[in-house]
Amino acid sequence: MTNLQEKNPEKQSEAWALASLVAGRYGRLALTRAAGEAAAAERKGDMEKSALWTSVVAYLRETLQQSNSQPATA
């Protein structure tokens, strides 16, 4: 869990919702897109936005790990 998630439940909900939207829009590229957004925000010095996108990356990774650990169904 990132610092953003631990400190603010409202931000945690925002990150989760954003992760869902990004996953729906970008599919397999969602993780790459979110990581790019985090890096861009950090380069601009927007640490709050960078933290949000870093949380989105964490949620997407968690989701990918869960889906990869589930047995395939035919």
Q: How many CB atoms lie within 10 A of CB 2?
A: 17
Mean pLDDT along residues 33-61: 97
CA angle 18, 21, 74 (to 5 degrees): 125
CA quadruple 5, 14, 19, 59: dihedral, nearest 10: 10
**Per-residue pLDDT at 7 exceeds 80:** no
pLDDT above 90 coverage of the chain, percent:
66
Stated pTM of the model: 0.81
Mean pLDDT of the region 24-53: 97
pLDDT attached to residue 66: 85
